[in-house]
């Protein structure tokens, strides 16, 4: 009998496989470069598989080690400044969200109060570090994940929490689209443009024009600059529109956007089917939602450590513990 957990695994194979195949279809017959998309798919798949393994063997130590690795990335990455590259603050936010999410998963996976307190203190230390290095965006992202994790202890139905997280991701994507379309009220539009810069908004508008011209296959992976006047005239050449949904739309058409949304939906579905406790599931979901919201306004998914880290966190939060399987086998009566 096909269980929900097995259905989630099969759905993941189908979604990730479709993402890779569609990237190759969009590149066929063109001087396109689908390697970046294929690398991202491979990173997510490898991270997820690795997370399932280490999460089953070391449910506390594995996410704790991942949190420390994320803290190391946060400390070693270039810090935002006057000459920082576009999206640098968003990259630090992604590191922070993943690290805090992993620390919270380690906390809720522990059974002893000392372990749970230690995990939450580690998460709080990561948030404090993000503010210390000068990234308010990263600090706020980590704070949001930590608060969601603490609130998850009072949630009895994980489906409600996961639907709320999905809604937050959809609102982030919708806000970026409305900003590009100038569909927001004047005051709110000016405020959002001040956060993401006017040049980035023009890149998003170029992406919308490309997808209107070729809605089925887009311009092809890696060809955004060839069709974007803003990217060609920019003082700092931009090879992407600094937004995962807009990049997918411009380079892989409407189906590419649908597959990107399906990949995020699959992760939430796998978390819903997970045998882990609700606080662990929602902590990972909050971190993944923070990554999705950040990816709506920055190119964080272009970094393999972010995509692999997202897959790793999802894998650890959906792993079935070895100890639980052994206990179930001991309780099962022997068959003649």
- Of residues 330 and 123, more confidence is placed in 123
Q: Is residue 268 part of a domain?
A: yes
Q: How far apart are CA 200 and CA 288, in angstroms?
A: 23
* pLDDT above 80 for 50: yes
Q: Mean of the pLDDT values across residues 195-222?
A: 89
Question: Rounded mean pLDDT of the chain?
Answer: 88
Q: How far apart are CA 214 and CA 185, in angstroms?
A: 29
In the chain, % of residues over pLDDT 70: 88
Residue 218 has φ and ψ, to the nearest 5°, of: 65, -165
Q: Is residue 336 part of a domain?
A: no
* pLDDT above 50 for 334: no
Show the tokens assigned to 32. 């396109």
By residue range, what is the domain housing residue 279? 4-25+35-319
CA distances 126 to 45, 92, 148, 247, Å, are 26, 11, 15, 30
Q: Is residue 221 part of a domain?
A: yes
Show the tokens assigned to 243. 């937004």
Query: For 255-293, what is each residue's pLDDT tens digit?
Result: 999 999 999 999 999 999 999 999 999 999 999 999 999
Query: For 107-152, what is each residue's pLDDT tens digit?
Result: 999 989 999 999 999 999 999 999 998 788 899 999 999 999 999 9
Q: Is residue 18 part of a domain?
A: yes
Q: How far apart are CA 206 and CA 219, in angstroms?
A: 12
Buried b / exposed e along 293-324 (16+ C-beta atoms within 10 A):
bbbbbbbbbbbbbbbbbbbbbbbbbbbebeee
Residue 326 pLDDT grade (very low, low, confident, very high; cuts 50, 70, 90): very low
Q: How far apart are CA 112 and CA 124, in angstroms?
A: 19
For residue 78, give the nearest of 103, 95, 98 by alpha carbon.
95
Q: How far apart are CA 88 and CA 207, in angstroms?
A: 21
Residue 336 pLDDT grade (very low, low, confident, very high; cuts 50, 70, 90): very low
Q: How far apart are CA 285 and CA 161, in angstroms?
A: 9
Contacts of 2 (CB under 8 A, 6+ apart): none
Q: Is residue 324 part of a domain?
A: no
The count of other CB atoms within 10 Å of the CB of residue 162 is 22
Q: Is residue 180 part of a domain?
A: yes
- What is the number of domains present in the chain? 1
Q: Is residue 215 part of a domain?
A: yes
Q: Is residue 331 part of a domain?
A: no
* SS3 call for 100: helix
Greatest CA separation for the chain: 76
Show the tokens assigned to 59. 């449910």
Q: How far apart are CA 145 and CA 186, in angstroms?
A: 30
């Amino acid at each position: 009998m096909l269980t929900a957990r097995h259905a989630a695994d099969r759905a993941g194979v189908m979604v990730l496989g479709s993402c890779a195949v569609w990237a190759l279809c969009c590149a066929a017959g063109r001087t396109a470069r689908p390697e970046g998309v294929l690398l991202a798919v491979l990173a997510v798949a490898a991270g997820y598989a690795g997370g399932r393994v280490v999460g089953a063997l070391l449910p506390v130590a594995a996410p704790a080690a991942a949190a420390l690795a994320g803290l190391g990335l946060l400390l070693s990455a270039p810090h935002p400044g006057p000459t920082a590259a576009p999206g640098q603050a968003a990259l630090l936010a992604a590191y922070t969200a993943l690290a805090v999410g992993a620390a919270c998963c380690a906390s809720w996976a522990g059974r002893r109060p000392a372990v749970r307190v230690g995990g939450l203190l580690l998460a709080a230390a990561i948030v404090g570090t993000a503010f210390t290095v000068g990234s308010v965006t990263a600090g706020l992202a980590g704070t949001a994940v930590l608060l969601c994790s603490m609130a998850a202890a009072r949630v009895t139905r994980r489906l409600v929490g996961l639907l709320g997280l999905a809604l937050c991701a959809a609102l982030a994507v919708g806000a970026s689209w409305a900003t590009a379309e100038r569909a927001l009220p004047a005051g709110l539009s000016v405020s959002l443009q001040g956060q993401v810069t006017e040049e980035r908004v023009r890149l998003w508008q170029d992406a919308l024009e490309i997808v209107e011209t070729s809605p089925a296959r887009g311009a092809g992976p890696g060809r955004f600059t060839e069709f974007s006047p803003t990217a060609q005239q920019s003082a700092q050449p931009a090879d992407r529109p600094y937004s995962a949904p807009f990049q997918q739309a411009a380079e892989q058409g409407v189906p590419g956007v649908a597959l990107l949304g399906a990949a995020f939906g699959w992760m939430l579905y796998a978390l819903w089917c997970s045998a882990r406790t609700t606080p662990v599931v929602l902590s990972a979901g909050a971190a993944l939602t923070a990554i999705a919201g950040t990816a709506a306004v920055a190119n964080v998914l272009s970094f393999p450590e972010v995509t692999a880290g997202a897959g790793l966190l999802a894998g650890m939060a959906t792993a079935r513990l070895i100890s639980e399987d052994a206990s179930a086998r001991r309780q099962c009566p022997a068959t003649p």
